[in-house]
Amino acid sequence: LASIHRNRRSCRHFSARPVSLADISNLLSCLKVVRQDPSRVAAEIVFAKRAYPTPGGICSIDHYLLPLGCSDLPDAAAHYDARTHDLALVVPSPDPDMVRRALAPGAEIRPLPGLAVIQVINIRRIVTKYRQRGYRFALIEAGLAAQALCQMATAFGFGALIWGGFREHLLDPLLELDGVNTSSVGVIFVGHPSGS
């Protein structure tokens, strides 16, 4: 664990080496549901507990993947199901120019990494349970999930970059999000660092 923390740093220089589906599965394993606990209030409410700590019992962050030209994922936006550890294709063949405009990676990130992991807040889900406090819980969860993903990337020898310069008004439609009840709140680029 100490070596992971020592080696963890942002990466802006990626190689064009593809990220395999096995690598993606390993990376996403830090986000999956590790146990499910029924609520004491109502049997039909089940709290899905993930590997990283969350401020509330109902997870409010979903993750989507966008391949950026050097991953073994099909050319499609995919949703990660944390309960089943599966990917479901959401949007086949998103327009590459629109993806670049939405992510706005800038000239300093070349070549692009293997994939972008998009963090999406489910506002309806979190506010129903936690009211106004839910949005704060969701942002805390997004940060904790991003930290776990970056640590996992470092453990497997990948470079990672938490990116705040994306344009959600362009990114949300790419993922078929309405921008009101569900909206993108974070992007993590993951790929092989250059020279590896």
Q: What is the pLDDT of residues 9-49, one digit of tens each?
A: 788 889 988 999 999 999 999 998 877 777 777 777 777 77
For residue 4, what pLDDT is reported? 54
Q: What is the pLDDT of residues 102-140, one digit of tens each?
A: 998 877 777 889 999 999 998 888 888 788 888 888 999
> Is the separation of the CB atoms in 70 and 16 below 8 Å?
yes
Backbone angles phi, psi at 52, to 5 degrees: -95, 155
Rg of the chain over Cα atoms, rounded to whole angstroms, equals 16
Which residue stretches of the chain are H helix? 2-7, 21-28, 96-103, 123-130, 133-155, 168-174
For residue 56, what pLDDT is reported? 64
